[in-house]
Structure 1
Amino acid sequence: MNTSPDPAQPPTSVLPAAETGSTETGATGTTPAGTTPAGTASAGTAPSGTGTAPSGSGTARWSAPELRRLAALIWPGQLLVVAGIVAANAQPQIAQHFHTTQIAWFSLAFTLATIAATPFAVRLGETYGKRRVMLVLAAAGLVGDVITVVAPTYPVMVAGRVIGGMYGPVAVLVLAAVRDLFPPRKVAVALGTVAGSVGVLSLITPLLSGWLLDAFGWRGALWFLVGSTVAAMLLLLSVPETPRRAAAGKLDWPGAVLLGGGLALVVFALGQGGDWGWSSTGFLLALAAGAVALAAFAGWELKVTTPILDLRMLRRRPVATVLIGSSVPQAAFFASQTILIFLALFPAIPHVSDGLGWTTTHNAVVGIPAGLITFAAGVGVGHAVRKVSPRTVWYLGLALLAGGMVLAALYHRDATQIVLTGVVMGLGGGILMSGQQAMIVSVVSPEEQAAANGMSSLLTQVFLTLTSQMLYTVLAADATVVQGTAFYQDQAYTNAYLAMAAVVGLGLLVSLAIPRLRRPTGEAVSPETAPATA
């Protein structure tokens, strides 16, 4: 399972404001949304049925049941990251095994299903209990995983990926469940532990996936994911049920159908444009139908009382420019990871394929420096925004990411070049992923931060879907098809990196419209006064 054609990023909550509470800030800097500094009370809804926080100051001791509960939530919460990396690295082998030129749908099918399922999963978790919903989603994901791994044909595999996409919202629900299952004083540490474990997994998983793919092939790697999903379900069974909140609102079925259907049509049109012709009737009809569905989705969301995406927030310039300006370049960063996977793992065949022919393990080792710098950059942003505007930090990240992609377009022919360009891109990407939260805190009120995070998460997924399909279209322009498998020439990789740099440039153009932002402080930011005036 994965949320993108690249190693999955840490999920951002798509939660009602009452569920996550607000982001706490203070003189020492910004704490991630939904958490608070250790030892202080968390904003938001206190856990029900879990006892009250100890009185007085200081950090409360953790009981054995609480520690077991925390440990049980880590793997289900981070399985999406692990599965994303394993599945992304398996794509080259899968493309060659099934002799398909439509490998993009291996990831896009999962992503589209996750986009449609996440808002409903959150709402149903409020109504029926988050553990129950997570178990149902994990069971669906397990069915999809099994279909994927035993699929006799590629279309069957894609169908399995659609079903497997139902697991996607579990990562979001785990973070939401933490607030219900721990006393307020311990929520910050619990959230930090669950979310922070992604740093370790992001370094270990590429090596694990390399060993699995090199030793057992893509089916062996995907069987590992089946076992991982079973383990996640067993761990969730040991977690108490969360409180139910009956007033969860109506489910926005029309919005989900219009969003998912519109995106699917646009992505399908872009994927077939090269074969049909960019001026063909089929391409134009599919693209127009997708555009009409998305336009209808926008109109519907502005009228419905419980929308999937609260597009009304985008009527405010600071919020719109921050959310869109941050989602677009992040989508390009995540999509660009696919370029390296195919470049590294596809074979070197004269006049056919200009891949490097590395093993998956070797590629994972080469990627360690970039992974470390990405992690370090994310930590550094939290310190930087105490002294300078989040917008300034954001522009630095955009410049580094775009520059790194241009360098990668020119220099990608050996391990040294890939390490150096990867470090530059990783530095920029790490700044963007962390800088986005600092900017969101600066333009919305505490009550809106959860909704803004949800909007940001879904927008990033939407732009990632479109950007990924554009990436595969660019790669296909300089491909040679041998026995049904598309192999890419050097020019394809060059153009792909340049295309992603152009998408980052588009994000920069939008970001230039972001008004001056205040540095995060303990003062609540009202919707009307979010931009700084000083």
Structure 2
Amino acid sequence: MNTSPPSDRWTPVELRRLIALVWPGQLLVVAGIIAANAQPQIAQHFHTTQIAWFSLAFTLATIVATPFAVRLGEVHGKRRVMLVLAAAGLVGDIVTVLAPSYPVMVLGRVIGGLYGPVAVLVLAAVRDLFPARKVSTAMGVVAGSVGVLSLLAPLLSGWLLDAFGWRGALWFLVASTVLAMAALCAVPETPRRAPAGRLDRAGALLLGGGLSLIVYGIGQGGDWGWASARFLLTLGAGLVALAVFVAVELRVSAPILDLRLLRRRSLATVLLGSSVPQAAYYASQAILIFLALYPHIPQVSDGLGWSTTHNALVGVPAGLVTFAAGIGVGRAARSVSPRALWFAGLTLLGGGLVLAAFHHSGTAQIVATGVVMGLGGGILMAGQQAMILSVVSHEEQAAANGMSSLLTQVFLALTNQALYTVLAGDSTVLQGTAFYHDSAFTNGYLVMAGIVALGLLISLAIPRLARTGDGTERPAASTEPVAVPVSPVSSA
């Protein structure tokens, strides 16, 4: 009888599975960067002042779809659900690239947002498809590849947009989705881990509907009037929907967002304190895109008029610093409190945003402020995971990460719309397109810095946290239902 321990060597079958999962799992990163950089061209092509909905439509659709997708993956198998979602995303991509009008394009983005949950299902599938001793490594490869793609995708998007325009770039996304589907076909089906049961449809629809109403109301407030009955009714209806959502989630047995976890001060303050500033960091990327890529038109637009490729090259130092910061935090968290690292990241990000508000007139200034913000953002992204690990047990990690991702998506949708509202407040509409003045970019950066400051105030309530490597006992696992994990989608 062979009693030798299992080999840690990777078999050809395991390597093929791992490679097949990387692209479907990280396609959202590439798609998010390319789509974000395409927004200035799309806004000018369709002469629209509502370009914010290009990203918001995708984000809101993903928020609503992910809880259903994860539950169905447990019931019917994750591979099958991922293929269905990828097919829906492909339809959305095709509608988007062929759209004859901007409303049709937004519809395509809503359909395309159904691909969003694939990123979450890929990570969940890793746990099912690899031996326990190899799961951690496989998860690191799939999730860690985002660092490389985040560096390469801006350069790729620059080449595509400069050489082929926005439709050419979006056709690349169509081909990328086809490639993702082909990769998923090479992955075996995962075990069915849950019996068919009732889905929390009410919770998902109330959350998505309430957010959509609030986001839409904020976006239209400038035109309707902030004291108008139309604005107040829309905002009120959204708030009522979210209030009912809270009541529903506290009563159902399998909620999409287990609000009962927030009764623990340590976890509640970590989740809220980390989600708010991260949303500001992601949203602030849109400011640079419009600043760099919009033309310079005296009295109309104070954009720098750069090519997408030039903007991508200018962003390389910030990307490298962000990547390095993430690695550094993982090592530092073994000997330094994650809370201390978190406050360092908040300080750097907030300071970088304030600097960018007043120093964004040329390449040197944007490189310098981008490095400061990139360092802060990298610390935040990695620091959030270190803080979560320090306040939950192993059994609660999926629930906590799920709630963290969903909260970040929620705050990102609200922050994005607030940012576009601020930008529109100092703009000139020329031939149907809103062009932004320098003060709009300044105000946008300052508002994002203010949101980071709000995250800092919330974070002050975070109690002392254990270092991830000190062996401190974590809280006992919760016996309550776990939340459905939701992964943030890269968005401008």
Classify the TM-score, shorter chain.
over 0.9
Tell me, what secondary structure is at the counterpart of 2:435? strand
Q: Quick one: which of 243, 247, 260 aligns to 1:299?
A: 247
Match of 1:419 in 2: 367
Match of 2:166 in 1: 218
Matches within 5 A, 1:74-113: 74-113=22-61
Provide the C-alpha distance between the structure 2 equivalents of 1:55 and 1:300, rounded to a whole number of angstroms: 52
Tell me, what secondary structure is at the counterpart of 2:123? helix
Provide the C-alpha distance between the structure 2 equivalents of 1:247 and 1:513, rounded to a whole number of angstroms: 40
Provide the C-alpha distance between the structure 2 equivalents of 1:490 and 1:433, rounded to a whole number of angstroms: 29
8 Å contact kept, 2:96–2:106: yes
Q: Quick one: which of 185, 195, 201 aligns to 2:149?
A: 201
Provide the C-alpha distance between the structure 1 equivalents of 2:188 and 2:405, rounded to a whole number of angstroms: 27
Q: Quick one: which of 296, 299, 321 aligns to 2:269?
A: 321
Match of 2:257 in 1: 309
Match of 1:503 in 2: 451
Provide the C-alpha distance between the structure 2 equivalents of 1:497 and 1:253, rounded to a whole number of angstroms: 37
8 Å contact kept, 1:127–1:246: yes
- Is 1:56 the equivalent of 2:5? yes
8 Å contact kept, 1:446–1:524: no
8 Å contact kept, 1:327–1:460: yes
Tell me, what secondary structure is at the counterpart of 1:375? helix
- Is 1:525 the equivalent of 2:474? yes
Which amino acid counterpart does residue 320 of structure 1 have in structure 2?
Answer: A
- Structure 1 residue runs of 5 or longer lacking an equivalent are 1-53, 530-534
Q: How far is 1:524 from its partner?
A: 4.0
Provide the C-alpha distance between the structure 1 equivalents of 2:476 and 2:329, rounded to a whole number of angstroms: 24
CA 1:514–1:180: 2 relative to 1, 3 Å: same
Q: How many residues align?
A: 475
- Is 1:445 the equivalent of 2:364? no
Provide the C-alpha distance between the structure 2 equivalents of 1:245 and 1:384, rounded to a whole number of angstroms: 37
CA 1:294–1:352: 2 relative to 1, 3 Å: same
Q: Quick one: which of 125, 129, 136 aligns to 2:84?
A: 136
- Is 1:122 the equivalent of 2:70? yes
Q: Which moved more, 1:179-188 or 1:215-224?
A: 179-188
- Is 1:456 the equivalent of 2:401? no
Instruction: State TM-score, norm by structure 1.
Output: 0.88
Provide the C-alpha distance between the structure 1 equivalents of 2:246 and 2:149, rounded to a whole number of angstroms: 37
Tell me, what secondary structure is at the counterpart of 1:121? helix
Instruction: State TM-score, norm by structure 2.
Output: 0.95
Q: Quick one: which of 499, 515, 519 aligns to 2:463?
A: 515
Match of 1:372 in 2: 320
Q: How far is 1:56 from its partner?
A: 2.8
Q: How far is 1:527 from its partner?
A: 4.9
Match of 2:483 in 1: none
* CA deviation vs aligned residue, 1:286-313 (integer Å, no higher than 9, x gap): 0000000001001110111100100001
CA 1:524–1:119: 2 relative to 1, 3 Å: farther
Match of 1:482 in 2: 430
Q: How far is 1:247 from its partner?
A: 3.3
- Name segments (4+ residues, structure 1) moved above 4 Å: none
Tell me, what secondary structure is at the counterpart of 1:480? strand
Match of 1:352 in 2: 300
8 Å contact kept, 1:73–1:236: yes
Provide the C-alpha distance between the structure 1 equivalents of 2:37 and 2:142, rounded to a whole number of angstroms: 24
Provide the C-alpha distance between the structure 2 equivalents of 1:55 and 1:438, rounded to a whole number of angstroms: 35
Match of 2:201 in 1: 253
- Is 1:154 the equivalent of 2:102? yes
Match of 2:482 in 1: none
* CA deviation vs aligned residue, 1:473-530 (integer Å, no higher than 9, x gap): 000000000010000000000000000000000000000011111112344411599x
Q: How far is 1:63 from its partner?
A: 1.6
Match of 1:29 in 2: none
Q: Quick one: which of 341, 353, 356 aligns to 1:408?
A: 356
8 Å contact kept, 2:466–2:472: no
8 Å contact kept, 2:349–2:377: yes
Provide the C-alpha distance between the structure 1 equivalents of 2:397 and 2:472, rounded to a whole number of angstroms: 14
* CA deviation vs aligned residue, 1:329-352 (integer Å, no higher than 9, x gap): 000000000000000000000000
* CA deviation vs aligned residue, 1:157-206 (integer Å, no higher than 9, x gap): 00000000000000111111111111112212211111111111111110
Matches within 5 A, 1:6-17: none
Which amino acid counterpart does residue 371 of structure 1 have in structure 2?
Answer: G
Tell me, what secondary structure is at the counterpart of 2:87? helix
8 Å contact kept, 1:86–1:221: yes
Q: Which moved more, 1:471-480 or 1:173-182?
A: 173-182
Match of 1:264 in 2: 212
- Structure 2 residue runs of 5 or longer lacking an equivalent are 479-492
Q: Which moved more, 1:173-182 or 1:353-362?
A: 173-182
* Structure with more helix by fraction: 2
8 Å contact kept, 2:393–2:477: no
Tell me, what secondary structure is at the counterpart of 2:255? coil
Provide the C-alpha distance between the structure 1 equivalents of 2:403 and 2:14, rounded to a whole number of angstroms: 31
Provide the C-alpha distance between the structure 1 equivalents of 2:472 and 2:449, rounded to a whole number of angstroms: 36
8 Å contact kept, 1:123–1:249: no
Q: How far is 1:248 from its partner?
A: 6.1
Match of 1:285 in 2: 233
* CA deviation vs aligned residue, 1:446-486 (integer Å, no higher than 9, x gap): 21111000000000000000000000000000000001000
CA 1:248–1:463: 2 relative to 1, 3 Å: farther
